[in-house]
Homo-oligomer: A and B are copies of this chain.
């Protein structure tokens, strides 16, 4: 089942844009400068965490197909990362998570109320950065993206432990909760560079498919990675009543199997959940899920074909490899 490729390293991928990303980091750090504000210690905590910065890198790389001075693009990249941080703060609050990127979460360290308010502050701070680009089209997309992110989160909350979720619902949810921001990250970089609409569309398509692929892989790893490492699938998603690709694929192939429905009706039945986990972590299910995920990788890659063959295009393709590489274990 393994496809061996050399694992691309993020610092190698980022090397052509390392100066840009440093300036993006500087812009984000400027949020710590408000000495007299009560939010400052919490802001420091969340912005000094070491994320992978995939989204701002996508924005910067997407701006490299039309000459521009980089100022608006780097501001936008900072906004995209700040928005991502804001959503993580509220996600961790909603999920009762204690740890994030190797540090305690705001809700676990300061409290749920503080996390709600800090998330709001970070949403607004990210919005002021987008305003600094001066581009209404990009500002609007940004606001719509926050609406989509919230819709994705709400869908997950409202339909937890409901077995009536089909493949279409699932794709809509992961578009909203993950792909939307990747799409905006890519699209806004292209728009702010002044690129033609066909390039803007190509990069948006890349972002959507990278984002969907990113989430599909995440959902597959929820089962497959832990099984690979520990011999036992953990399956956090199904334990939280969230139906993802492996369950949907298993159900498609076994329409008579009502074990998920029975588990959702009695979520304390751990025998039942173990039975489900064994079924959905079966090699044939995982393989079929990976085939589906790789279709999105192909779509993302194909979208870039209209772009000139530059270093930055290569970096966008390498980012795809990075997201997908660990999955054919």
Contacts and interface: CB of A to CB of B under 8 A. Distances in A.
A124 interface: yes
Interface residues of A, number: 42
Nearest to A147: B124
Given A128-B140, A143-B127, A116 B114 contact: no
Contacts of A326: none
Given A113-B94, A114-B157, A120-B119, A38 B136 contact: no
A79 to B, nearest CB: 10
A18 interface: no
Nearest to A138: B131
Contacts of A39: 150-151, 154
Contacts of A158: 38, 114
A319 to B, nearest CB: 27
A325 B165 CA distance: 54
Interface in A35-66: 37-39, 42
A149 B39 CA distance: 12
A223 interface: no
Interface in A1-55: 37-39, 42
Given A124-B143, A134-B136, 16 more contacts: A37-B151, A38-B151, A94-B117, A116-B116, A117-B154, A118-B150, A119-B120, A120-B123, A123-B123, A123-B146, A124-B150, A125-B147, A128-B143, A131-B139, A131-B140, A131-B143
